[in-house]
């Protein structure tokens, strides 16, 4: 940051001077700093389980009552869900 005075010489501010001019490192910045440090150092559990939340859910389906459930894509479910006897459910063994 720089500013000019009456003699057109630039005044150079360092980070400490800038903090003093804006009122210092406030409580909001201190809280944010502590929270970010805790999140960074905590093992990021929320980041680890995020992948589980975005994985595609597998389904199993069958076309008639005599048949066993088999893995099927969601496109097959969308195409056949109005057919009588078609059943699908989440694959709980996944």
Question: DSSP of the chain, one letter per residue?
Answer: -EEE-TT-PEEE--HHHHHHHTTSS-HHHHHHHHHHHHHHHTT-HHHHHHHHHHSPPPEEEESSTTSPPEEE-HHHHHHHTTSTT-EEEE-TT-
**pLDDT score for 61:** 93
| Domain that includes residue 65, residue range | 59-90
Q: What's this model's pTM, rounded to 2 decimal places?
A: 0.42
Do 38 and 6 lie in one domain? The reply is: yes
pLDDT of residue 14: 84
Kindly state whether residues 13 and 32 are assigned to the same domain. yes
Per-residue model confidence (pLDDT) at position 32:
86
Q: How many domains, in total, are found in the chain? A: 2
Judge if 49 and 65 occupy the same domain: no
> For position 37, what pLDDT does the model report?
81
Same domain, 49 and 19: yes
Local confidence pLDDT in tens for the 94 residues of the chain: 555 555 677 778 787 888 778 777 778 888 888 888 887 777 666 666 666 667 778 899 998 877 899 999 989 989 988 888 899 998 888 6
Task: Please indicate, yes or no, whether residues 45 and 77 belong to a single structural domain of this protein.
Answer: no
- Residue 70 is predicted with a pLDDT of 92
pLDDT at 42: 73
pLDDT, position 6: 57
Q: Are residues 66 and 35 in the same domain?
A: no
């Amino acid at each position: 940051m720089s500013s000019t005075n009456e003699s057109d010489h630039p005044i150079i501010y360092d980070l400490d001077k800038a903090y003093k001019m804006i009122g210092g490192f406030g409580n909001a910045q201190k809280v944010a700093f502590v929270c970010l440090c805790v999140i960074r150092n905590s093992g990021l559990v929320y980041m680890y389980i995020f992948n589980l939340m975005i994985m595609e859910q597998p389904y199993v389906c069958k076309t008639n009552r005599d048949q066993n459930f088999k893995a099927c894509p969601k496109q097959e479910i969308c195409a056949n869900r109005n057919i009588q006897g078609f059943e699908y459910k989440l694959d709980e063994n996944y």
